[in-house]
Structure formats: C-alpha cells, structure tokens
Amino acid sequence: MSLRIVFMGTPDFAVPTLVEIVGRGHEVVAVYTRAPKPAGRRGLDLTPSAIEREARRFALPVLTPATLRTTEAADSARAHGADVAVVVAYGLILPKPILGACRLGAFNLHASLLPRWRGAAPINRAIMAGDVETGVMVMKMEEGLDTGPIAKEERVPIPFDVTAGDLHDRLARLGADLMVRALGALERGTLTLTAAVARGA
C-alpha cells in the first residue's frame, strides 16, 4: 500500500526527499514548486527550480502557482485527492484551506532543531552561532511559520570545521530518510506527535 502525496518544495535541499518518496513507491500526484526565475545576462532565460527539474525527470505533474491564497488554489489542492502533503523548503506560506486539503494533513521537513532557528537559512545560522549540534525535524503543519507538533527528529553534531554546504547535504539526506520513516508510520497508523517546545522555553 502507498500514500497519495502532494509534494511541495523548491531548492536542492528538497530533492533527496522527493527522490526517496518516489523510490519507496508512494504515488506523487502533484509537485508544487516556485516558478522558474529569470537567468542569464539579460534575464531572458528562465531557470526551473531543482525540484521542478527532478519532478520532470520522473514525469510528475508540476504546478507553479504565484500564491496559494485563492479559492482556485484551494479547489485545485483538494482535487488531487491526496492523503498527505509533504513540504520541504517550498517558499510559500500554506493558508488553512491548503493545510486542510489532504486527508491526513501536511508535514514539513525543517533543517534545525526547533524552536531554534525558525524560518530561513537555519543551517547557516546554526554554524554562525557556533552551535555544537543541529538536526532535522518532521512536523505536522499548522498555520504560522514552523509551528505544529513534532512527528520525528534526528540530531547530528556540528564539527568545528564543517562547511554550510557539507552540512546542507548531510541534513538533506538525513531529512529524506526521516520523512519517509514518518510517512511509513503515518501509513501504518503508528505515527505519534509531540507538542513543539515554545520559543524561549
């Protein structure tokens, strides 16, 4: 048995998770990503996101809406008939109708141990702050930025000489494994959620 999944992601960090999901036999019914960006000296060439390139390689349907805050976007999301949405560094806030479009909700992969380093660039911020460890978390999404109960987490030490690129690649691979384990537990009905720690706690 497999899950029907809507995948939402944009940069390189999200690619291992999409690859792992497809490799585990889940049915990816739609891939949402940010629209191609102008590139080249005159900005005339459009460069698709890393996730769009990967989705095309798997012949998956790709959507690049400018916003999800419309009735049309909510109707389209529900029409996929997906069990769950998987979100990895997508780049758009998901409003309540989108979060509720899938039967089992939406799950986000975040590249830090929350509540530390919510929002953008958590890997770089952890290194710049001299943190001795970091990790990845899968959380069930609620309205708001990086909020919601935690499904799974994995911690890793930060070597003193590590680069942001090396840590990015390690966490991307670790996060992909963590997400498919969370999806497997969700499919079996054994996934347990833990309340997130509030900022400053």
User: What is the tens place of the pLDDT at every residue in 9-32?
Assistant: 999 999 999 999 999 999 999 999
Average of pLDDT values for 129-143? 92
Instruction: Specify if 194 maps to a domain.
Output: no
Instruction: Specify if 195 maps to a domain.
Output: no
The stretches of the chain forming alpha helices (DSSP H) are 15-23, 50-57, 71-79, 96-99, 122-128, 164-188
Cα separation, 198 vs 59, in Å, equals 41
Instruction: Specify if 193 maps to a domain.
Output: no
What are residue 134's DSSP bridge partners? 156
Instruction: Specify if 200 maps to a domain.
Output: no
* CATH number (domain holding residue 40): 3.40.50.170
Average of pLDDT values for 135-139? 95
Average of pLDDT values for 53-69? 96
Does the pLDDT of residue 199 top 50, yes or no?
no
Does the pLDDT of residue 201 top 50, yes or no?
no
Cα separation, 178 vs 184, in Å, equals 10
User: What is the tens place of the pLDDT at every residue in 95-116?
Assistant: 999 999 999 999 999 998 877 7
pTM for the whole structure? 0.92
Instruction: Specify if 197 maps to a domain.
Output: no
Cα separation, 101 vs 80, in Å, equals 9
Instruction: Specify if 196 maps to a domain.
Output: no
How many distinct structural domains can be found in the chain? 1
Instruction: Specify if 199 maps to a domain.
Output: no
User: What is the tens place of the pLDDT at every residue in 72-100?
Assistant: 999 999 999 999 999 999 999 899 999 99
- Name the nearest CA neighbour of 34 among 77, 91, 99, 74: 91
Range of the domain at 95: 4-188
